[in-house]
Structure 1
Amino acid sequence: MPMKTTSLAFFFLAFAFALTTALGRSIAGAGDVEPVLDTDGNPVINGGLYRILPAPPANGGGFIPLTLDGETCPISVVQASPGLGFTMFIQVASNKLVDYVYPTDSVDIIFSGRPVCTDSAKWILKFFSPVPAVFIGEEDDRTVAGHFGFEKYEDAYKLVFFPERLPGITWSLGISPFGNNRLVANEENPIKIVLQSFNRGKSASTI
């Protein structure tokens, strides 16, 4: 009995050590990852307001909800045309209890205002012809379960989507090559973006 008790105690001690070591490595690894930075070089604040803009020298504005293809409410997320004069601020909220947003974090992206004809300003991805596209509004049977995120892309970032039913898979997002400036799943040509803080862009008008 004493030998069995000792062996059992040793087993649990070894298991606890291995678990603690693994957690320590995980925490240390997370601390080594640089948070997403805004255009001023500051970490993107979890829950903060930002404009998502094309990285220079690309043309075009930020993202807005618009009425397309016979919709009765502006629920399609599109890139504003150059010189349009306004883009919407967006709340970026990580699903983790952290101060800043990190690359590959799952995040909610929510327009700072919403059209009166829809109940939600939160971005969702829906199956759409010929590729999945980004909308706001209520979820339905076309909604793809998952979350958005940011990944380092060249000297800036790109928008990505993590489909819940495909663990370990990410879809890059870009502007539709089929017109209307829709934001869609576009692996071949992702849009390179930067995030501009609300504190810097207060002069921008919103809808």
Structure 2
Amino acid sequence: MKARTTTNVFAIFILFAFISIHLPSLATAELIDTDGNLIENDGSYYILPVFRGNGGGIGQTATGNETCPLTVVQQHSEVDNGLPIIISSPLKIRYLGEGIRLDLSFSFVPLCTPIPSKWTLVKGLLEGEGAAVKLTGFYENQVQGWFEIRKTLDVFKLSFCASSNNNCMDIGVKRDDEGNRLLVTTEDNPFVVVFKKARSSYSA
């Protein structure tokens, strides 16, 4: 009887360990858009800064020697919503919560980029230890991993988590020498954002 009880306890422990690894936490915060609606899995949204007056939404541009707009940037004008971004999770869920593994990709795909134009992180392009957010398929030194949306106080921020060590880094904004507002990893200045549902056009 004692051996059977020990076996049952061990089986329950394994079950809970499996659930904790493969399913999102039931306590995760809900993700809400600017209309107060839950953010949908595979939905299309503009990602906008919480604090207006210092740039607009998220778009893409060519930087450095790029001949294709591979770099993810914040738009200069605060009235520019940027491009619609598809926020998706491999989990079979309708709505997204905080800390869930996500893919981010532009719904508008230039002819020179792969379909879909997913975001990734690329090391070695910036001075210091930071890495830049780029489109996949063009850089050999891209980091394998996933994006997350995390809640800090009453606002949201973007993070990238590396598959190699599960280390998650906040995403911030850094100006390059050409004045572009690059999305990059940061240790102390995350880009806090809101999510606005994209309609049938790219207009505000």
The aligned residue for residue 113 of structure 2 is 118
Decide which structure has the larger Cα Rg and report it: 1
In 2: Cα distance, 1:84 partner to 1:38 partner: 18
Residues 95 and 105 of structure 1 are in contact (CA less than 8 Å); yes or no, is this contact kept in structure 2? no
Alignment partner of 1:67 is 2:66: no
Code of the residue aligned with 1:188 in structure 2: it is D
Code of the residue aligned with 2:172 in structure 1: it is G
Q: How does 1:20-169 map to 2 (within 5 A)?
A: 30-82=25-77, 85=80, 87-120=82-115, 121-127=117-123, 128-130=125-127, 131-138=130-137, 140-167=139-166, 169=167
In 2: Cα distance, 1:147 partner to 1:129 partner: 20
Report the structure, 1 or 2, having the larger helix content.
Answer: 1
CA change 1:177–1:189 in 2 (3 A) is farther
Which 4+ stretches in 1 moved above 2 angstroms?
A: 6-34, 56-59, 83-86, 202-206
In 2: Cα distance, 1:62 partner to 1:193 partner: 9
Report the structure, 1 or 2, having the larger strand content.
Answer: 2
Selected match of 1:174 from 168, 172, 175: 172
| 1:68 to partner: Cα distance | 1.1
In 1: Cα distance, 2:126 partner to 2:24 partner: 40
Structure 1 residues 25-34 or 96-105, which shifts more?
Answer: 25-34
Structure 1 residues 11-20 or 62-71, which shifts more?
Answer: 11-20
CA change 1:42–1:165 in 2 (3 A) is same
How high is the TM-score relative to the length of structure 2?
0.84
| 1:203 to partner: Cα distance | 5.5
Unaligned runs of 5+ in 2: none
The aligned residue for residue 3 of structure 1 is none
Give % identity.
Answer: 29
Structure 1 residues 56-65 or 93-102, which shifts more?
Answer: 56-65
CA RMSD in angstroms, aligned pairs only: 2.7
Aligned pair count?
A: 198
How high is the TM-score relative to the length of structure 1?
0.83
Code of the residue aligned with 1:193 in structure 2: it is V
Structure 1 residues 18-27 or 106-115, which shifts more?
Answer: 18-27
CA change 1:151–1:9 in 2 (3 A) is same
